[in-house]
Chain A
Amino acid sequence: MSVLKIEDLQVSVETEQGTKQILRGVDLTVGEGETHAIMGPNGSGKSTLAYAIAGHPKYHVEGGSVTLDGVEMLDKTVDERARAGLFLAMQYPVEIPGVSVSNFLRTAKTAIDGEAPAIRGWIKDLDSSMTALRMDKSFRERNVNEGFSGGEKKRNEILQLELLKPKFAVLDETDSGLDVDALKIVSEGVNRAKENTGLGILLITHYNRILRYVKPDFVHVFVAGRVAEQGGPELAVRLENEGYDRFLESSNVG
């Protein structure tokens, strides 16, 4: 049983106005096969949590720990964390000119597994995942994210999630900017990965919308850099109806 454990995580970033504390002691435990939704208003630190777990150099860890099956992730490099089983589906994936999707995926798969995938099985897996995500075969020869629409970029992220088979994935606003058809396709992909590999998911979102398709086991409300409230799926529904106002008021007072 794999466990991703975040304890008292404190993270800051450098801004023009100096160092700014964003995460102020986050505690979260995600078990294998569990889906945790992280919801919260803009600026509450949701994306910072995602990037800090992945190891983006812009975010400085001031304290706390992130362990995967007891192994500390915070002193590992970005690629070591990925090879240990962490995955981040990004909100704004960058373009990599001159690097084809197929070359990129094969290189990543080889790095994660420590050996090149067997050609036939790999092509088959690639084909079936792309078909399921309604991605045309021509995608393979296109440069990574270059000229992709918003929806194509998100599908490409989920394609990687399916093929790289991480233990835990952080999905950073994967639902934002998607029309309902694309949202369903992307959600199906996430659910497939979960079924096939027992993936644990941290689903960061601003809206309840994706939670109709990817059912959360737990919902955590993020406010001012920490978890302000947690509960079951019913909490998401309540947030949709009431908004985040009551949290913002209490945090302002407190």
Chain B
Amino acid sequence: MAADTTATAPAPAPGITEVADRQTAFVPVQTRSGRFTSTSVDDFEAVTGLEFEWKFAPLARVKHLTEAALDGSPVEVHSAEVEGATVGWIDRADARIGSAGTPEERASANAWSSFEKALHIRVTGEEASEVVVRRDSFGEAARSAHVVIEAAPNSRGTVILEQTGEANLSENVEIVVGEGAQLTVVTVQEWDDSARHLSSHFATIGRDANLRHVIVSLGGEVVRVNPAFHLVEQGASVDSFGLYFADAGQYFEQRPYIDHVAANTRSRVNYKGALQGKGAHTVWVGDVLIGPHADGTDSYEQNRNLVLSEGTRADSIPNLEIETGNIVGAGHASSTGRFDDEQLFYLQSRGISEEEARRLVVRGFLAEIISQIGSASLETRLGEAIEAELLRAQAGE
């Protein structure tokens, strides 16, 4: 059961809650929108590991990010100038900070409490632009960061965040998609082997706007990217994709949360992961909340995991809460399976070696997500990165 045991949750009236116009309904205490939120780390109790948010993570390796003082000074980023988009820094007192969401857990609040300046990426052009922001200088010190990505009304653009190098980082990423805008945000984690990275994404999506959000996690020791998408106005839609490949000893977690607030909103969630090597562990928790005013919601979420060797673990938990009956659709699917021997036999019977056959099948499995990214150069590069992962994983067997 998806029980949120955060001790500091505000005491709810047990069970019975007023939802609208003095109508009451039974609302379980763990309803996704009912979680306690705060930007201040001191409002959260110390993390024990029993909380649902921390239940799966190797807490010993990231606990310091929930309690230690974090260095919140800005770290240099690299980006080329692009027409129709700007990249700069804004002060933590800036009014745009906090416009997309509020932390729900302690590491996120700890980052929020300590960052000095926020990286600000703004897409304004109506012609599609592509901004690549490379972040490779976080280093080993415990740090916090804050990013605000804004798409102006009716703008079109792709923002790619590429992460490499060392990291010991807790951060928050806010995404504000203006009316009628179409924004793609891709975050690629190709950290060094010892990197630890906890990231919370908060997105609000305006009227008739679309956010395409892609999480790609390939490198790092502990990487968690939890995006929350708030479909706050009519006609808003989100396509949330994820791709991860965990090798021996790697822990990758992602918990997409789709919050259907307004009527006629649409969401699609599709995460695919591959696991290979002892101790490879992935977690996917997909929460979809269809609120009482979200009539006409059309929602589907799925997670598929491909297990390539013994000794791995994939947790996959879809949660669906529906507070209005008047919807177009709400479905979910989750599967975790091992390699299909018949596929292997078929490819081998055509002369293809077992190693290459495995690579073909895994690449094919993940290709569905890669092809959704919409940036030809990044798609090619990620295809190669996955190929390299596979070769590395096979060599390590």
B350 within 8 A of A: yes
Q: Which candidate, B82-90, B215-223, B311-319, B354-362, is the interface stretch facing chain A?
A: B354-362
A94 near B342 with CB under 8 A, answer yes
Is A248 part of the binding interface, using a Cβ–Cβ cutoff of 8 Å? no
**Residue A190 at the chain B interface, CB threshold 8 Å:** no
- Please report the C-alpha to C-alpha distance between residue A226 and residue B109 in the assembled complex, in whole angstroms: 74
Known interface pairs A94-B342, A98-B365; A112-B347 also in contact (CB < 8 Å): no
Q: What's the minimum C-beta distance from A102 to chain B, rounded to whole angstroms?
A: 13
| Residues 193-251 of B contacting A (Cβ, < 8 Å) | none
- What 1/0 mask marks residues of chain B from 39 to 70 whose CB sits below 8 Å from any chain A CB? 00000000000000000000000000000000
Identify the closest chain A residue to B341 (Cβ). A57
B328 CB within 8 Å of chain A: no
Q: A107-B356, A111-B356 are in contact. Are A96 and B350 (CB under 8 A)?
A: no
Compute how far the CA of A99 lies from the CA of B348 in the bound complex, rounded to whole angstroms. 14
Provide the B118-137 mask, 1 if CB < 8 A to any CB of A, else 0: 00000000000000000000
Does A37 sit at the interface, judged by CB under 8 A? no
With the chains together, A138 CA to B251 CA distance in Å?
A: 40
Query: How far in angstroms is the closest Cβ of chain B from A80?
Result: 9
Q: Determine if B367 is an interface residue (Cβ-Cβ < 8 Å).
A: yes
Instruction: With both chains docked as a complex, state the minimum distance between the C-beta of B128 and any C-beta of chain A, in angstroms.
Output: 24
B345 touches A96 (CB 8 A): no
Known: A56-B345, A57-B341, A94-B343. A107 touches B365 (CB 8 A): no
Contact of A111 among B340, B352, B363 (CB under 8 A): B352
Kindly state whether residue B310 has any CB partner on chain A within 8 Å.
no
B364 A98 Cβ-Cβ under 8 A: yes
Q: Which B residues lie within 8 Å of A57 (CB)? A: 341, 345
User: With A98-B363, A98-B365, A98-B368 given, is the CB distance from A79 to B353 under 8 Å?
Assistant: yes
Q: Contact at A77–B351, with CB atoms within 8 Å?
A: no
CA distance A90 to B342 in the complex (A): 11
Q: Among the listed A90, A108, A112, A143, which residue makes an inter-chain contact with B364, where contact means beta carbons less than 8 Å apart?
A: A143
Interface mask (A72-113 → B, CB under 8 Å = 1, otherwise 0): 000001110111000110100111111100011001100110
Interface size of B in residues (CB-CB distance below 8 Å): 24
**Residues of chain A with a CB closer than 8 A to B290's CB:** none
Contact of B346 among A55, A93, A107, A112 (CB under 8 A): A93
B185 on interface, CB distance cutoff 8 Å: no
The answer to whether the Cβ of A48 comes within 8 Å of any Cβ in the partner chain is no
A residues less than 8 Å from B188 (CB atoms): none
A87 to B349, CA, bound (A): 7
A108 touches B352 (CB 8 A): yes
A82 touches B361 (CB 8 A): no
Cα A96 to Cα B367 in complex, Å, equals: 12
Tell me, rounded to whole Å, the shortest Cβ–Cβ distance linking B38 to chain A: 43
The answer to whether the Cβ of B366 comes within 8 Å of any Cβ in the partner chain is yes
Nearest A residue (CB) for B344: A78
Q: Contact at B360–A99, with CB atoms within 8 Å?
A: yes
Asked whether A164 is an interface residue with its Cβ less than 8 Å from the other chain, the reply is yes
How far, in Å, is B58 (CB) from chain A's closest CB?
Answer: 31
Q: Is the CB of A108 within 8 A of B346?
A: no
Query: Which residues of B sit under 8 angstroms from A87, Cβ to Cβ?
Result: 349
| A82 lies within 8 A of B364 (CB) | no
Residues of the B chain whose Cβ atoms lie less than 8 Å from the Cβ of A78: 345, 348-349
Given contacts A96-B361, A97-B368, A98-B367, contact A88 B349 (CB under 8 A): yes
* Dominant SS among interface residues on chain B: helix
Measured between beta carbons, the chain B residues less than 8 angstroms from A10 are: none
Complex alpha-carbon distance, A164 and B354, angstroms = 18
Contact flags (1/0) for B363-397 with A, using CB distance below 8 Å? 11111100000000000000000000000000000
Q: Residue A66 at the B interface, CB < 8 A? A: no
Q: Is A160 touching B350 in the complex (CB atoms < 8 A)?
A: yes
A79 touches B352 (CB 8 A): yes
Q: Is the CB of A94 within 8 A of B340?
A: yes
A94 to B343, CA, bound (A): 6
Q: A90-B346, A94-B346 given as contacts; is B352 within 8 A of A107 (CB)?
A: yes
Q: Which of A82, A93, A143 contacts B348 (CB 8 A)?
A: A82
Chain B residues with CB under 8 Å of A77's CB are: 348, 354
Nearest B residue (CB) for A107: B352
Counting CB contacts under 8 A, is A54 at the interface? yes
Closest residue of A by beta carbon distance from B340: A94
Q: Could you tell me the distance in whole angstroms from the C-beta of A125 to the nearest C-beta in chain B?
A: 16
Assess whether B350 is in contact with A112, with CB atoms less than 8 Å apart: yes
Q: What residues of B have a CB within 8 angstroms of the CB of A81 in the complex?
A: 349
In the assembled complex, the Cα of A88 lies from the Cα of B350 at a distance in Å of 8
Chain A nearest CB from B350 CB (Å) reads: 4
A-B contact pairs, 27 of them (CB 8 A): A54-B349, A55-B348, A56-B345, A77-B348, A78-B348, A79-B351, A79-B352, A79-B354, A79-B357, A90-B346, A94-B342, A94-B346, A95-B343, A96-B343, A96-B360, A96-B361, A98-B364, A98-B367, A99-B361, A104-B347, A107-B360, A108-B350, A108-B352, A111-B350, A111-B356, A112-B350, A143-B364
Ordered nearest first, which 8 A-B pairs have the shortest CB separation?
A: A98-B364, A98-B367, A108-B350, A78-B348, A82-B351, A111-B351, A99-B364, A112-B351
